[in-house]
Structure 1
């Protein structure tokens, strides 16, 4: 479990689990989310929420892991653009580490 800071003063945070990061990866939630300027603001957070809502509405079965991500992180009362920026940064670090570990496992076999 890791914590991301959701405001600049550091008084608010959200806990993000390994399962949350795996869910983000599974559904490619950050793919094409940020515009070419690379700036994450409130409309980007809204876009993410709309994308997730669309995924949930279009699937016939309930995606419990996606619902958990929404309840615990994305729709958390403390989640703002600053928190999303930190979540994206955490995801990028996690993904790089995960890819490196998988590459090391593949070379050992």
Structure 2
């Protein structure tokens, strides 16, 4: 379980689970989300929400993991642009750590 800060003053935070990060990876939710200017603002959060809603609407199979991510994180009352930025930073860190673990596992198997 990870904790991210959702506002600049640090008075609000949110719990992010490994399952949430895996869901973001599974559906590639951050791919091409941020414009070339690199700024994460409320419009980027709105774009993410619309992308997720579209995904859920078009899915035929069970999308419980995506629904859980929406309820727990994306549509959470504390989620604002600052929180999304922190979530993206956490996701990048998580991906990097995951890759390092896989590399170490491959090295130990060799």
Instruction: Identify the TM-score tier after normalising by the shorter chain.
Output: over 0.9
Unaligned 5+ segments in structure 2 are none
RMSD over aligned CA atoms reads 0.7
Question: Is residue 10 from structure 1 mapped to residue 10 from structure 2 by the alignment?
Answer: yes
Unaligned 5+ segments in structure 1 are none
5 Å matches for 1:1-109?
1-109=1-109
8 Å CA contact 1:70–1:76 kept in 2: the answer is: yes
Q: How many angstroms apart in 1 are the aligned matches of 2:100 and 2:31? A: 20
Q: How many angstroms apart in 2 are the aligned matches of 1:86 and 1:22? A: 16
Q: How many angstroms apart in 2 are the aligned matches of 1:59 and 1:73? A: 20
Q: What is the TM-score normalised by the length of structure 1?
A: 0.97
Q: What is the TM-score normalised by the length of structure 2?
A: 0.96
**Quick check: 44-53 or 98-107, which moved more?**
98-107
Q: Which runs of 4+ in 1 moved over 4 A?
A: none
Q: How far 1:103 moved relative to its partner?
A: 1.4
